[in-house]
Structure 1
Amino acid sequence: MTPDISGRYRTAAFSASPGPSSLSIRNRRRGPVLVVLSIVVGTLGWSGTVLTLPAAMILPLLWAKSPSRLVAAAVSGGYFLAASRGLPQGVATFYATDLWPGLLLWVMASACFITVHALLWTQHPGKGRLVRYLAAAVLMGVPPFGITGWAHPMTAAGVLFPGWGWCGLVATAASIAMMTSRNWPAAVIAMGGFWLWSAATWTEPSLPDGWKGVDLELGQSLGRESSLEHHRGQIATVRARAAEGSRFIVLPESALGFWTPTVARLWQEGLRGSDITVIAGAAVIEAAGYDNVMVAISADEARVLYRERMPVPVSMWQPWRAWTGQSGGARAHLFANPVVELDGAMIAPLICYEQLILWPALQSMLHFPDIVIATGNGWWTAGTSIVAIQQASAIAWAKLFNRPLVTAFNT
């Protein structure tokens, strides 16, 4: 009997000995798969095609399914780096092959995104996980983290729920919250249904009567060329477009270069005898730095219409200069002038970088604008999808709140 008993003991001891469990093996395999999927989601969602934006809403599911905080960080990083993949190349072009500013901004922005999502991750399912992801979404939507809150899944609201306005935004928030719960299959099916319906019935935002956006292909000379011939050529372009029946002509960011009394008088004189109003990008130089602005010019008036709330960090907005007593760099007006008035219409302006982040568009929509104007100077993004992503984001916000959209970009 003893051998049998000892044999049974030995068998029990062997079966209880430590070793890799099937659960831990599955977890180890799951991590790399989730990271690869996050890269696919980031690439597809932010391809520059507006109808692919809802793919970004898969991120909360991948985050929630992460078996550890480390994997959640890797999933967040894979998504964010894939979504913003064009930035280093674009900034290197902007700085004439100096890759470091672009890499610095890329690393800083991804570090913010990864840190927020990693710290708020939890392995415990339920309401706590749902609330934690919504907290991450809010943090990445408003300053300070929202300053680099690119590729926000909430941008997809305009594709899933066009015309729903704030109700559509709430529905999108509820959908991404459900993606982190046990009910995620129902959320996927529901969002897939709305996505298919939207794609089947999709139309571009309307263009307001009498308005025209002018895209230019002047490369890096736009904003740097200040000759009389250059301005006269721009005025001729405006008059030609106005002859097609438009009264309000929108030109891209930086179209007028430095805004000075001389430039203002030149344009007013060029518009003399017409009822044309030009909205164009310019830079206002001051002792402490400069403002990236939109100006409104007619034969009777020339004024600064809008001062950019959030210029591009690092390349334009350099707050450390003020901290160290230096001057220079673009000023950020964060929550100022979310809407501006022109000829009785309330306008929501979005310049370049503001189209990539959440709060400028939402802050403007709180004031019920009549028109959205989105401009940019994207010559430095050649070979990337950055301008297409900006345009897709502007279209999504205009569609969500059912507002006419005017765009003008330089490439």
Structure 2
Amino acid sequence: MCRDYLRPVLLIFASIAVGVVGWSGYMLLLPVALGFPVLWSIAQTRSVAALVSAGYFLAASRGLPQGVAAFYSSDIWPGLLLWLCASSSFVTVHTVFWTINARTRPLRYFLAVVVMSIPPFGITGWAHPVTAAGVLFPGWGWWGLGLMTTGLAGLVTRIWPAVAIALTGFWLWSAATWTDPKIPDGWRGVDLELGVSLGREAGLQRQRDMIATVRGAATDSARFVALPESALGFWTPTVERVWTGALRDGAATVIAGAALLDAGGYDNVLVAIDRKGGRILYRERMPVPGSMWQPWRSWFGESGGTRADFFTNPVVAVGASRAAPLICYEQLIVWPVLQSMLHDPDFVVAVGNGWWTKGTSIVAIQRAATTAWAKLFAKPLVIAFNT
């Protein structure tokens, strides 16, 4: 009887360990997440598979309760509720697709991988093991993604030890030869440490401080400067005039986060500003569900919240190049980056405003995931975060 309980308990604890280590924010540890499909496949009942899935996902997203509490300046309970709700899609998908039939298990797990990569379930498709493709197969592009997907399916078969050994070999070789993605020529990303005030303090002095930061970063070799999400606050004609005037005597182009407000809600955007003026460069495809994207408001005739542009503007033109923009939450899920890569951009621009994640590994995980995707497709990467 004890043995009947011991195996499931060990699988659950192992899945928690895999989630904690794989999603610790250390990029070269991302392949540890590949332990999840193995544990899922050797669960002997559907209920144990559900618990294994829950243990992995909750451990991987463990920073969410504390982050939500900080974001709303509340106690831990709203964060815990959101944490559990967010896990429901991952657990449901992996519970439904689990099977005791070893012959059909690879196909069913492949379907779970696909379902968790695209909307609607992919909206909360964090901690996806396929993200490790960039660590195991840097520079392999779509071939590497295909090999990663094949490897994931192989990890749920009876020959999973051989597959695991092969993937470990790729992992060790990659770790031994690893180099970070290059920064695009002529670009510089600026990290800020302005905390909660970024995007909320919108006075003229804050804009002047930002302008001074850009002038310090812009040089002859760096004509494009990226600022974090929400760096400009609300994008208005007045803000545009202030920045255009400040850039009139230089050749720099600023790419910065802002909010574009109207009667129905707002868009989380990136704007491009130079001496000729400013323009909306990019509208976020997938804002944070719950805190930003609140589609249920429209069901009750209410306005507000951030709009989700889902599959629009996967790449944008910046100068003579094409960039794949990723704002904050988009760096944690799969489909925005893959949609952008279908258009073969020249580089990736990743920005975020992570002040609310203090004391968690969320920003480190965002950086690690974005770096892994950039390495997989051999794309230069520019990052700008506020903490």
TM-score by length of 1: 0.93
Counterparts of 1:171-210 in structure 2, within 5 Å, are: 171-210=147-186
Structure 2 contact 23–60 (Cα < 8 Å) conserved: yes
Aligned partner of 1:34: which letter? L
Question: Cα distance, 1:28 vs. partner?
Answer: 2.9
Following the alignment from structure 1 to structure 2, what is the Cα–Cα distance between the partners of residues 100 and 298? 45
- The CA deviation at 1:34 is 0.5
Query: Secondary structure at the residue paired with 1:197?
Result: helix
The AA in structure 1 aligned to 2:80 is L
Contact (CA 8 Å) 1:105, 1:313: kept in 2 or not? no
Contact 2:330 2:336 in 1 (8 A): yes
Match status 1:291 vs 2:261? no
Does the 8 Å contact 2:240/2:278 carry over to 1?
yes
Counterpart for residue 113 of structure 1? 90
Give 1:106 deviation, angstroms. Answer: 1.3
Superposed CA deviations along residues 149-181 of structure 1, whole A, max 9, x for unmatched, are 000000000000000000000000000100000
What is the alpha-carbon distance in structure 2 between the residues aligned to residue 284 and residue 192 of structure 1?
46
CA deviations on 1:40-89 (whole Å, 9 max, x unpaired) are 00001000011000010111110000011111000000000000000010
> 1:295, 1:305 within 8 Å by CA — same for their partners in 2?
yes
CA contact (8 A) 2:241 2:277 kept: no
Measured against aligned partners, the alpha-carbon deviations of 1:282-313 in whole angstroms (never above 9, x if no partner) come to: 00001110000000000112000000000001
CA contact (8 A) 1:295 1:303 kept: yes
Equivalent position of 2:322 in the other structure: 346
Question: Which whole-Å CA distance do the structure 2 matches of 1:320 and 1:240 have between them?
Answer: 43
1:57 has 2:57 as partner: no
Alignment partner, residue 260 of structure 1: 236
- Aligned equivalent of 1:393: 369
Structure 1 residue 43 corresponds to structure 2 residue 20:
yes
Whether contact under 8 Å (1:101, 1:314) holds in the other structure is no
In structure 1, the residue matched to 2:71 is 94
Q: Unpaired segments of 5 or more residues in structure 2?
A: none
Cα shift at 1:251? 0.1
Q: What is residue 5 of structure 1 aligned with on the other side?
A: none
Pick closer, same or farther for the CA change 1:45–1:159 going to 2, 3 Å.
same
User: 1:323 corresponds to which letter in structure 2?
Assistant: W
2:343 matches 1:377: no
Residue identity in the other structure for 2:206: H
4+ runs deviating over 4 angstroms: none
Between the aligned partners of 1:259 and 1:104, the Cα distance in structure 2 is 33
AA aligned opposite 2:265: G
Aligned to 2:218: 242
Matched length: 387
119, 137, 143: which one aligns with 1:143: 119
Structure 1: segments with no counterpart, 5+ residues:
1-19
TM-fit CA distance, 1:327: 0.3
**Distance in 2 of aligned mates of 1:328 and 1:40:** 39
The 2-side partners of 1:243 and 1:350 are apart by 25
Equivalent of residue 76 in structure 1, options 44, 53, 64: 53
What one-letter code is carried by the residue in structure 2 that aligns with 1:235?
I
- 1: CA distance between counterparts of 2:78 and 2:251? 44
* 2:293 aligned with 1:317: yes
Give 1:244 shift: 6.7
Aligned to 1:307: 283
Which amino acid in 2 is paired with 1:56? A
Paired residue type of 1:285: L
CA contact (8 A) 1:251 1:281 kept: yes
CA distance, structure 1, for counterparts of residue 183 and residue 318 of structure 2: 16
Residue number among 288, 305, 311 corresponding to 1:329 in the alignment:
305
Aligned equivalents of 2:89, 2:374: Cα separation in 1: 28
TM (norm. structure 2) is 0.98
- 1:86-141 CA distance string (max 9 Å, x none): 00100100100243442232112111111110111111212x10111111111111
Measured in 2, the distance between the counterparts of 1:315 and 1:101 equals: 11
Determine the C-alpha separation between the residues in 1 that align with 2:35 and 2:311.
30
Q: Following TM superposition, by how much is the alpha carbon of 1:260 offset from its aligned partner in structure 2, in angstroms?
A: 0.2
Q: Deviation at 1:26?
A: 4.3
3-state SS of 1:294 partner: strand
Shift of 1:30: 1.1
Deviations, residues 361-389 of structure 1 (Å, cap 9, x unaligned): 00000000001000000000000000000
Taking only aligned residues, the RMSD between alpha carbons, in angstroms, comes to 1.0
- 8 Å CA contact retained: 1:311, 1:354: yes
Shift of 1:235: 0.3
